A and B are shown apart, each in its own frame.
Chain A
Amino acid sequence: MAKLLEHKAKEILAQFGIPVPRGEIAASVVEAAAAVERIGFPVVLKAQAFVTGRAGKGLIHFCDSAAEVSDAASSVLGRAVGGFPVETVLIEEKLRIASEFFAACIVTDEIPGPLALLADRGGSGVEQMARDGKAKLARRPFDAATGLKPYEARSLAVECGITGKQISAVAGFLVQLAQVFLAEEARSLEVNPLVMTDDGRLFAADCHFSVDDYAVVRHPELRIEIAREIGHPPTDLEKIAAAYEATDHRGTFYFLELGTEGDRPVGFHGAGGGGSMMSMDALVRHRFTAKNFCDTSGNPSAAKVYRAAKHILAQGAIVGYFASGSGVASQEQFHSARGMVKAFREWPLNVPAVIRLGGNKEELAIEILSKFLSDLPVPVEAYGKDDSAAFCAGRLDALVREHPPVEPYDCTPTARTEDAMDEYAFDVRTGTISFDHAICRNCESKACIKSCHVEILEIDDDTPRLKEPAEESAHRCTECLACELACYDAGMRSIALSLPIPGFDECLAKRGAR
């Protein structure tokens, strides 16, 4: 993600010559004890988590003995912070503090441009203290191309009441900080507190560092796993989603789990940023809580929507499934419908669903959903652009009241599940299509041929095969799922389009979801 944990942020600062306390990272009590051996007492032990005010939450401990380190490490490691466990602690030499400051560079849309900030004291809540008159906070825009000039930094120092030799020292630090901010294309870079020790040296004692998502590709040195701002360390499922998304650029698939509490959690499947948010708000007004945020838009393939739906279902513990976007999408909505059909029958869906696929080709989308999902023991209702998100959230409310989640049941997936007697298979972009020609020979309709909109299949020896050159034909497959659904509809189930998600099954096993 585009936010860096403290230890990683400090590593970057150090590479730019900014002094940070001597420290080491530890993932266990044993590692913590070993780290302290090298650093020497006294130390400070800090939980690595994306929260502010860690000291007040018992996530920072000052230790003078091995016993204290062991106690502190075991109390902090594994503790849930914001719904997600602490995985590592940073152990650092304890600084002898003479004075503290606050130094930061942020981006503001008001100017618009970068802004340097400096305060005459540090600690949490410095902005509030400034408003209350307890701290002096000075701010100044600077040039995004040329950086913060030393005289600009000095004037900031003077403005917030810093005097004497400290002026140049603190100003020099801020200039360096602005250099890191520009070089790494940060959204915000905050050092709080900036510590001056009793021997007059400056250290970045803590650091919040968030990098522009769009620039992450230009900064491999940051080793960022998911180039998105998320308010928590990425979950296993979010990492799996991001890793898959990085390999398939047809449309957008964005998935994140929300820590929001509520007694009526809903699996949420949006389309488009604004439309998703608007639809999520409609859910909230009906006392639902979105268990996740998911956005499949920008004309995603059916395969992508299928995988997204599986991520949503994998979270478990939902009372309903709600899909809705802006209402007037330009993407061809039947792709999303087919993706959901495959996912819902395969899982199978165990809660009521309301699917609003308004916009381009919505009639076909609604027809597909109704046709292929009407036999499920839970209701699935499909709507288009003339039914509002609020109306659809109301429908889900009514359905959820009448239909509690059902126990796992037998459901025939659209794909063939048995091994083929006479297999004909080929690889497509993100998966494999397999036909059982033994079944195909008994098929009269050969519906797969007509359903293929890129027309890559032909009948040869009474069975469907790729048109020659086969490799080129396979490459043209858009993974629209039409052939698999047509084959299922014809009552044959000869086709199995397998669309793997690396790491997904392991994740399910770990979560005990299936």
Chain B
Amino acid sequence: MSILVNENTRVIVQGITGREGQVRTRLMQGYGPNIVAGVTPGRGGEETLGLPVFDTVASAVKQVGEVDASVVFVPAAFAADAAMEAMDAGVKFIVIVPDRVPLHDVMKLCKFAQERNARFLGPNTLGCLSPSKGVLGMMGGSPEAARKFFMPGRVGVSSRSGGITSSIAYYLKKAGIGASTIVHVGGDSIVGLPHPEILKLFEEDDETDAVVMFGEIGTTQEERVAEMMMQGAFTKPLVAYIGGKQAEEGTRFSHAGAIVEGGRGDYQSKVSALGDAGAVIVERFEDLPSETARVLAELNGK
């Protein structure tokens, strides 16, 4: 299985003729899954990277048939609108890569998505990648690097930091641990699929035995994961690291979501909530692979 993306996922790329769209489409074509069309308003009828380009998502879907996902590479100010266009055309999963998408645009998009039973990853995400199957977004950078860095296996990865997502996968691989799917949920304070939603998917995935999570100060994502564990909605072993121990309240540390506000979302509240719920918390990031190996050994010993 794996989650969100596999070798059969049919994908369109919005903003395919732009600089980012071009580079990342090559990555997805080289690593998988199936890119079937691109969309750029005003460029309909052209061809790029061997793919037909359409003016609208609706016309693309009409021509190439149903698609499973759209990956958005348009400037931040137009990203939410592009995602809405895809949802309106019946696409059920959108990956919104751009950084700096305004918060109020995202809130409106959340409601729009709910009403259409669609979901989105991001904004401000590298995307998601199922090793040897496919990638949506820009994780890995190039097909060669992606093949070098990511190895298939049975551990799910969910991270709020892009750079850390690749690092975790690399260090796990070095310890001989492969991944089922690697997900960068995005760095913003409101994202379409936060940690709790990703963990729900990993819970249902029969190819995922355990999950490694990179959390951060700010938002309620990690606290909600703890709640899920308490309620039995997430039952697989969870190994987690929380960044931002030395953080001033009211100051944001690069990621828009990494800010402690009104005394909520601080390091201690996340660590204690997850610890109480039975997660393995590592104090040192470097200990993630060894702790994951230990958890997997225990699991297999049972």
B302 at the interface (CB under 8 A from A): no
Task: Using CB atoms, name the residue of chain B closest to A277.
Answer: B243
> Given the interface contacts A389-B286, A390-B284, does A145 sit within 8 Å of B108 by beta carbon?
yes
B263 to chain A, nearest CB (A): 9
Beta-carbon nearest neighbor of A254 in chain B:
B254
- CA separation between A283 and B249, bound complex, in Å? 19
Please, which residues of chain B bring their CB within 8 A of the CB of A228? 252
Partner of A277, one of B111, B253, B256: B253
Q: In the complex, which residues of chain A have a beta carbon less than 8 angstroms from the beta carbon of B247? A: 277
In the assembled complex, the CB of A387 is this many whole angstroms from the nearest CB of chain B, namely 10
Q: Known contacts A109-B220, A260-B248; decide if A187 and B214 are in contact (CB<8 Å).
A: no
User: Is there an interface contact between A272 and B164, defined as CB atoms closer than 8 Å?
Assistant: yes
Please give, as numbers and ranges, the residues of chain B lying within 8 Å of A301 by CB-CB distance: none
Picked from A3, A274, A283, the residue with its CB within 8 Å of the CB of B255 is A274
**Stretch in B6-14, B54-62, B98-106 with 4+ CB within 8 Å of A:** B98-106
> Which residues in B have their C-beta under 8 angstroms from that of A385?
167, 170
Q: How far is the CA of A271 from the CA of B258 in the complex (A)?
A: 15
**A-contact bits for B260-293, CB 8 A (1 contact / 0 none):** 0110000000000000000000011110000000
Closest A residue by C-beta to B126 = A330
**How far is A256 from B167 in the complex, measured between Cα atoms in Å?**
25
Report if A272-B220 is in contact (Cβ < 8 Å); known contacts: A215-B103, A328-B166.
Answer: no
Give per-residue flags for B218-256: 1 if the beta carbon is below 8 A from chain A beta carbons, else 0.
011100100000000000000001011111111111111
CB closest chain-B residue, reference A227: B100
A386 to B289 Cα, complex, angstroms: 13
Q: B49 interface residue, CB < 8 Å from A?
A: no
A323 to B76, CA, bound (A): 30
Q: Please, which residues of chain A bring their CB within 8 A of the CB of B170?
A: 327-328, 385
The stretch from B63-71, B154-162, B198-206 touching chain A is: B154-162
B279 to A: closest C-beta gap in Å? 18
Confirm or deny: B259 has a beta carbon within 8 angstroms of a beta carbon on chain A.
Answer: yes
Cα(A110)–Cα(B218), bound, Å: 12
User: How many angstroms from the CA of A112 to the CA of B258 in the assembled complex?
Assistant: 16
Interface flag for A500 (CB, 8 Å): no
- Residue of B191, B246, B247 with most chain A CB atoms under a 10 A cut-off: B246
Q: Given contacts A273-B253, A275-B163, are A390 and B286 in contact (CB under 8 A)?
A: yes
Please determine whether B163 and A325 come into contact, CB atoms closer than 8 angstroms.
yes
The answer, yes or no, to whether B194 is at the interface (CB within 8 Å) is yes
Contact between B250 and A110 (Cβ–Cβ < 8 Å)? no
Nearest-CB residue, chain B, relative to A181: B104
The answer for the CA separation of A313 and B175 in the assembled complex, in Å, is 37
Q: Which of A375-430 contact B (CB under 8 A)?
A: 385-386, 388-391
Separation of A275 and B141 alpha carbons in the complex (Å): 17
Enumerate chain A residues within 8 angstroms of B194, measured Cβ to Cβ: 109
A231 adjacent to chain B (CB < 8 Å): yes
Partner of A330, one of B103, B145, B220, B248: B145
Q: Taking the nearest CB of chain B, how far is it from the CB of A22, in angstroms?
A: 29
Complex: chain B residue closest to A187, CB-CB:
B103
Q: Which one of A112, A187, A260, A280 contacts B110 once the chains associate, using CB atoms below 8 Å? A: A112
Establish whether residues B248 and A231, one from each chain, have CB atoms under 8 Å apart when the complex forms. yes
**Chain A residues in 8 Å Cβ range of B100:** 213-214
Cα A325 to Cα B166 in complex, Å, equals: 12
Q: How large is the interface on B (under 10, 10 to 19, 20 to 34, 35 or more residues)?
A: 35 or more
Cα distance A36–B233 in the bound complex, in angstroms: 61
User: Given known contacts A188-B261, A212-B103, A389-B285, is B108 in contact with A293 (CB within 8 Å)?
Assistant: no
**Within the complex, what minimum Cβ distance (angstroms) separates B82 from chain A?**
16
Contact partners of A254 in chain B: CB under 8 A:
254
Best-buried of B100, B149, B221 by chain A (most CB within 10 Å) = B100
Partner of B284, one of A143, A215, A282, A328: A282
Whether A218 touches B286, Cβ cut-off 8 Å, given contacts A107-B107, A113-B111, A188-B261, is: no
| In the assembled complex, B209 has its CB within 8 A of some CB on chain A | no
Known: A114-B107, A144-B108. A277 touches B251 (CB 8 A): no
Q: List the B residue with the shortest CB-CB distance to A50.
A: B250
Q: Is B187 an interface residue (CB 8 A)?
A: yes
Q: Kindly state the separation between the CA atoms of A270 and B163 in the bound complex, as whole angstroms.
A: 12
Closest partner residue, chain B, to A51 (CB atom): B250
Partner of B103, one of A214, A278, A285: A214
Kindly report which residue of chain B lies nearest to residue A272, judged by CB atoms: B163
Q: Which 4 A-B pairs have the closest CB atoms?
A: A274-B161, A273-B254, A326-B163, A272-B163
Q: A182-B104, A231-B251 are in contact. List 18 more A-B contacts (CB 8 A).
A: A187-B103, A228-B252, A230-B250, A254-B254, A256-B251, A270-B254, A274-B162, A275-B163, A281-B245, A281-B285, A283-B246, A293-B253, A293-B254, A327-B170, A328-B163, A328-B170, A388-B285, A390-B284
Write 29 A-B pairs (CB below 8 A) sorted by A numbering.
Answer: A50-B250, A113-B111, A114-B107, A127-B262, A144-B107, A145-B111, A182-B104, A212-B104, A215-B102, A215-B103, A215-B104, A230-B251, A259-B248, A272-B162, A272-B164, A273-B161, A273-B187, A273-B258, A274-B163, A276-B253, A277-B216, A277-B217, A278-B241, A281-B285, A282-B285, A285-B283, A293-B254, A328-B171, A388-B285
